């Protein structure tokens, strides 16, 4: 392994940052698809030069782009996301029924085992799969047809399916997270689904045992210990050791446990990173000091990582904007709504800006080359 490629989706295009294994000096290429919103780009583990990108616009809709040469050139692939059957309504912000409508692709997850298969998480919440490299898309309707779906409400960003995980030890096991419905698990490749939100407490939900309705911001797992899941909920950092069946809070000594981004160290399943944000009303770091917090104990005990990160900083770090590489020591990366991409080549001990003046960053995905 000789270097790292960062796939950065922003409010006004995509950028690709590359570095050698030292991860000190970064070349920036782009913008690709300038002027469009790039919600997510992700490369295939099976073929890192195969990269998918979600290109979207409030004016001109959804495009799906694919590169087979590591992001040098791109070709549009299929952009029709048709829900199976006649979709019923979900709940709107005012609790009235609202028609289920496709708006955009939030997350792309290439299969860990099938080179031409890729999953797409969309708004309004649904899961789609392509088995021909993105040329055509079919919904996996079992999720949207779950009995709880008519009660799902959108979060502030819409009713979005924003996170997809595939269990590397059991590729039929999939996890998704939906704001603000919660986390769901499938054991049959996405045909059927069950909510996995036991143990989540959300103050805006009167029922303490509510099966759905939780605003899950991110879930992540370590490939070597896939039974353990970590979650950044709206408020609260959570952990499950039984594949999501039961959750417990591990916010511990975090100064605030609101946030969006979360990542797991690539070599240490008990080492987790979050970026605490002041509150759901003030989406910037506590006291204007950008800090990553790391736990080496799987949660509860957290330490601030500040070297190289700014003060007087009032940016946000969005849910898809944190990633890790597989080098030794593990590299950690995150992007901000202020257009910075920060990189650490030493497990978070110190940080430098790999890019400083991009448009607002929506997503960061690290590829180890």
Partner 1 sequence: MLIRIELPFHLRTLAKTGSEVQVEVAGPATLAAALDALEARYPVLRGAIRDAITQKRRAFVRFYACEQDLSNDPQDTPLPAAIAEGREALLIIGAIAGGLKW
Judged by the rule CB under 8 A, the positions of this chain that interact with partner 1 are 11-12, 33-36, 57-63, 76, 79-80, 82, 359-360
Tokens found for residue 271? 């080492």
Shortest Å distance, C-beta 11 to partner 1? 6
Shortest Å distance, C-beta 42 to partner 1? 21
Specify the residue, 36 or 247, whose C-beta has the smaller distance to partner 1.
36
Shortest Å distance, C-beta 250 to partner 1? 35
- Angle of CA points 164, 183, 185, to nearest 5°: 70
Task: For residue 329, say if its preceding peptide bond is cis, omega within 30 degrees of 0.
Answer: yes
Closest CA to 154 of 129, 181, 176, 132: 181
Specify the residue, 78 or 195, whose C-beta has the smaller distance to partner 1.
78
Shortest Å distance, C-beta 61 to partner 1? 5
Edge-to-edge order in the sheet of strand 352-355? 322-324, 332-335, 341-344, 352-355
Shortest Å distance, C-beta 221 to partner 1? 33
Closest CA to 301 of 261, 250, 230, 348: 250
Specify the residue, 59 or 281, whose C-beta has the smaller distance to partner 1.
59
> What is the Cα–Cα distance from 368 to 88, expressed in whole angstroms?
42
**DSSP bridge partners of 174:** 166, 186
Neighbours of 85 (CB within 10 A): 10
- Angle of CA points 346, 351, 356, to nearest 5°: 140
Shortest Å distance, C-beta 365 to partner 1? 22
Shortest Å distance, C-beta 322 to partner 1? 22
> What is the Cα–Cα distance from 49 to 22, expressed in whole angstroms?
21
Closest CA to 228 of 262, 276, 259, 204: 262
> What is the Cα–Cα distance from 243 to 225, expressed in whole angstroms?
10
Specify the residue, 62 or 179, whose C-beta has the smaller distance to partner 1.
62
Shortest Å distance, C-beta 63 to partner 1? 7
**DSSP bridge partners of 61:** 57
Specify the residue, 73 or 307, whose C-beta has the smaller distance to partner 1.
73
- Angle of CA points 14, 259, 148, to nearest 5°: 90
Specify the residue, 32 or 334, whose C-beta has the smaller distance to partner 1.
32
Specify the residue, 62 or 186, whose C-beta has the smaller distance to partner 1.
62
Specify the residue, 235 or 284, whose C-beta has the smaller distance to partner 1.
284
């Amino acid at each position: 392994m000789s270097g790292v490629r960062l796939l950065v989706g922003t409010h006004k295009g995509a950028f690709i940052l590359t570095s050698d294994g030292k991860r000190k000096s970064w070349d920036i290429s782009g913008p690709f698809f300038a002027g469009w919103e790039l919600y997510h780009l992700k490369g295939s583990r099976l073929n890192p030069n195969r990269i998918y990108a979600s290109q979207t616009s409030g004016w001109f809709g959804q495009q799906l782009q694919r590169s087979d040469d590591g992001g040098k050139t791109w070709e549009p692939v299929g952009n029709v996301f048709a829900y199976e059957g006649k979709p019923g309504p979900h709940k709107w912000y005012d609790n009235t029924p609202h028609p289920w409508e496709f708006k955009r692709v939030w997350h792309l997850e290439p299969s860990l085992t099938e080179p031409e298969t890729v999953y797409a998480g969309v708004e309004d919440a649904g899961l789609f799969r392509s088995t021909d490299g993105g040329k055509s898309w079919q919904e996996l309707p079992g999720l949207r047809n779950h009995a709880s779906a008519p009660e799902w409400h959108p979060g502030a960003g819409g009713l979005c399916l924003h996170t997809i995980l595939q269990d590397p030890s059991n590729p039929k096991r999939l996890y998704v997270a939906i704001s603000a419905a919660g986390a769901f698990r499938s054991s049959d490749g996405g045909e059927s689904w069950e909510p996995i939100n036991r143990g989540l407490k959300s103050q805006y939900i009167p029922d303490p045992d509510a099966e759905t309705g939780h605003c899950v911001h991110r879930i992540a797992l370590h490939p070597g210990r896939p039974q353990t899941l970590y979650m950044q909920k709206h408020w609260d950092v959570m952990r499950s050791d039984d594949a999501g069946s039961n959750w417990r809070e591990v916010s511990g000594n975090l100064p605030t446990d609101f946030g969006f981004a979360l990542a797991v160290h690539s070599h240490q399943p008990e080492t987790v990173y979050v970026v605490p944000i002041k509150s759901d009303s003030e989406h910037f770091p506590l006291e204007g000091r950008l800090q990553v917090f790391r736990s080496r104990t799987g949660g509860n005990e957290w330490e601030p990582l500040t070297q190289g990160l700014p003060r007087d900083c009032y940016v946000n770090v969005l849910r898809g904007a944190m990633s890790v590489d597989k080098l030794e020591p593990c590299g950690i990366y995150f992007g901000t709504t202020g257009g910075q991409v920060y990189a650490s080549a030493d497990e978070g001990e110190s940080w430098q800006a790999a890019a400083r003046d991009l448009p607002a960053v929506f997503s960061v995905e690290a590829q180890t080359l």
